Amino acid sequence: MDRLLARYPFLSAAREAVGEEGGDMVALVADGGPPVERAVERVETCLREGTVGDPHRDPRTELLSYPVARALVSLVDEPVLVRRYADAEARTAHRRFTADLDDDRELQSARGQRISLRRLLAEFDLSGKVEDAPEGYRITVGRYLSLSGEDWRLVARPLADGWVPVSREELMALLREAVRERVAEGLPQAVPEEIADGLADEVAGVESLLADRSPPREFDAVAPELFPPCVTSLLARVSEGEDLEHHSRFALVSFLVSMGLDAEEVEAIFERGGTGAETAAYQAERLGDDGRAAYAPPSCEAMEALGDCVNPDDRCETIDHPLSYYEAALDDAGTVPDWRETGGSILDRLSGD
Ligand code: SF4
């Protein structure tokens, strides 16, 4: 059994290996043995920690747990789970291949488990499209654009004959995105009834974990350009001097406090529009510190019911909370400058001034 395929089960060669090792999937699932247990762990850990956890010591179990986890995610059939699962597989793979590629010691025990850059590039149609360059690598514009998403713009990037220079870290991030796309591809998939029956208890377990999940509360950076559309709209209304209704002000202030803004910073934002600054500061003060842990902004469902869900975009389809939107946007963007380090006003940053 190829250990490398167990560590990287999204590789195309792994599909064939699953067929050879797995035999009858219906029987495998009905058996409920280690591959099913590890599949549940893969999915639950993606919700709890944002990774798929440590690999099982038995490579066959590890390999077979991947298609079972995909079936489980498909049966739960929630966009937020598909997104988090694909992110978690990609994050885990990124850690593994970064370590593999950084570590050029040929330890006997690890021989055959490590992936090479050449193989990764070939897997994702990047052979001949990534080359060594003086400062790291260069990648063709077409593949750069397809993998970098809208947040890694070409602005300020030197372009030469259709190539874009990227650092090693950026190349690793592009490969992570390629893995994320590969994992998300085809999810949710159709699952035969017999397999669905065999996974009924596991599906119920994941559904209940999903229902209990509170929104994320810790973020690496405050990046106003990544705020969800509802929050951007509320900020625009404030800057135009509109006196927000209580529920809208609460949604905005609690979001800003969740970002780590203090009462003074919130007050400064409302002062620009000239309305409601004192109330907002008071609210932020009460929500701050201890309150921050207790009061998250309203969920998307509540925002919609109150008329505060405005201009939802594609990412909104995959989340259920404005803070989850922001977390997903940050994940997709990679490294972004923190608003506090760049200075200026949040409103100016949103309007591009
Ligand atoms: S779906 Fe949620 S995050 Fe998106 S605009 Fe509506 S409330 Fe905001």
* Mutation pick for ligand 1 pocket among 301, 303, 317 (CB with most ligand atoms within 8 Å): 303
Residue 301, pLDDT above cutoff 90: no
Question: What is the 175 CA–ligand 1 centroid distance (Å)?
Answer: 29
Report the nearest-CA residue for atom 2 of ligand 1.
Answer: 300
- The yes-or-no verdict on residue 21 having pLDDT over 80 is no
Instruction: With beta carbons less than 8 A apart as the criterion, state whether 63 and 14 touch.
Output: yes
Q: What is the mean pLDDT of residues 172-177?
A: 92
Smallest CA separation from ligand 1 atom 3, residue: 322
Note the pLDDT of residue 110. 52
Cis amide prior to 229 (ω within 30 degrees): no
> DSSP letters along 156-168, please?
T---BTTEEEE-H
Q: How far is CA 29 from CA 25, 68, 147, 206, 236, in A?
A: 6, 8, 35, 16, 52
How would residue 285 be classed by pLDDT, with cut points 50, 70 and 90? confident
Instruction: Write down the pLDDT at residue 105.
Output: 47
Does residue 14 have a pLDDT over 60? yes
Give the Å distance between the CA of 252 and the centre of ligand 1: 12
Q: pLDDT at position 156, please?
A: 58
Rounded to the nearest angstrom, the distance between the alpha carbon of 308 and the centre of ligand 1 is: 8
Domains of the chain by residue range: 3-212, 224-351
* Nearest CA, atom 8, ligand 1: 230
Give distance in angstroms: CA of 327 to centre of ligand 1. 13
Q: What pLDDT score was predicted for residue 109?
A: 45
Element (H, E) at 246: helix 246-258
**Once rounded to an integer, what is the mean pLDDT over residues 35-63?**
92
Q: pLDDT tens, 104-158?
A: 544 444 556 789 999 999 999 999 999 999 879 999 988 988 888 644 555 557 7
Pocket residues for ligand 1 (CB within 6 Å)? 228-230, 300, 303, 309, 312, 316, 322, 325
Question: What number does the ligand 1 atom closest to the CA of 233 have?
Answer: 5
- Substitution site in 300, 310, 320 for ligand 1 pocket (most atoms within 8 Å of beta carbon): 300
| Atom number, ligand 1, closest to the C-alpha of residue 313 | 4
With the most atoms of ligand 1 within 8 angstroms of its CB, the residue from 230, 255, 320 to mutate is 230
Ranges 95-99, 158-162, 215-219, most confident: 95-99
How confident is the model over 53-90, as pLDDT tens digits?
Answer: 999 999 999 999 999 999 999 999 988 889 889 989 99
Between 269 and 2, name the one with better pLDDT.
Answer: 269
> Which H or E run includes 121?
helix 117-123
pLDDT of 30 > 70? The answer is yes
Average pLDDT over residues 322-348: 85
pLDDT of residue 344: 76
- Residue 301 CA to residue 135 CA, distance in Å, equals 47
Average pLDDT of every residue of the chain: 87
Question: What pTM was computed for the model?
Answer: 0.69
Chain Cα centroid distance, residue 234? 25
Q: 226 CA distance to ligand 1 centroid (A)? A: 12
Q: How far is the CA of 103 from the centre of ligand 1 (A)?
A: 42
Q: What CA–CA distance (Å, rounded) separates 63 from 1?
A: 9
Ligand 1 center from residue 195 Cα (angstroms) = 34
Which whole number is the average pLDDT over 162-172?
90
> Ligand 1: which of 316, 323, 327, 330 to mutate, most ligand atoms within 8 Å of CB?
316
For position 291, what pLDDT does the model report?
46
**What is the share, in percent, of the chain residues with pLDDT greater than 70?**
91
Q: Is 319 exposed, middle or buried (0-12, 13-18, 19+ CB in 10 A)?
A: buried
Structure confidence at residue 293 (pLDDT): 46
Predicted pLDDT at 20: 78
